[in-house]
Amino acid sequence: MKTPLSLIFTILLLFSCTDNFNIENPDVKQFVMQLKNGTYNQYVYTEDGSKLWTIMPEFSKNDIPKLLQLAGDTTLVSPCDHFPTNPISSIPPYRTKINNEGEGIMIGEYLLWCVESIINKGKFISLTPLLVKIVNEQPMFLTAKEVLMVREYYVTWWEKYGKNETYEVYPLTGKGYYWR
């Protein structure tokens, strides 16, 4: 009798410790925490159980304010294999040795990319969640300070257009920054 009870207790304990995530009604703060600690695990699988790609949560217009608030975080997270990215891209979705920061995905930049996917009705705006500016006809990745400046463009856009679902005007129009 002791063995079945301990087995049931162990199973209940394991289920209570898992980080349940509702992909259809995502909690933005929980999503960011899972990205930062490497536990986001919503994947598309093959028939034999192999991982194909990570699934983007079904964010809505209502999630934009929280995404913009949390986009002030310029932490680089690595490894990047648990971030939802554009599944048709073969380009690495992370920064590589930028300004001696190492490689990784910048949380704030990534969350702005998530906002873009909401604006574009769930479609990816680009192949990678990386912002660039053109310098001497070459694309250059943004610094953390520049990502925070771009975040302010999105916040201003949200207040002026986004709240009213006026998505014909985009946050980066005429700003000189582009999604790679």
Distances (CA, A) of 85 to 15, 49, 89, 114, 163: 28, 20, 8, 10, 26
Nearest to 179 by CA among 131, 119, 122: 131
Listed as ranges, residues in the chain with pLDDT below 70 are 1-19, 96-102
Residue 94 confidence (pLDDT): 75
Residue 102 confidence (pLDDT): 66
Residue 101 confidence (pLDDT): 60
13-23 pLDDT per residue, tens: 333 344 589 99
Residue 118 confidence (pLDDT): 94
CA distance 104 to 78: 5
Tell me the residue length of the chain: 180
56-93 pLDDT per residue, tens: 999 999 999 999 999 999 999 988 889 999 999 888 77
CA 58 distance to own-chain centroid: 12
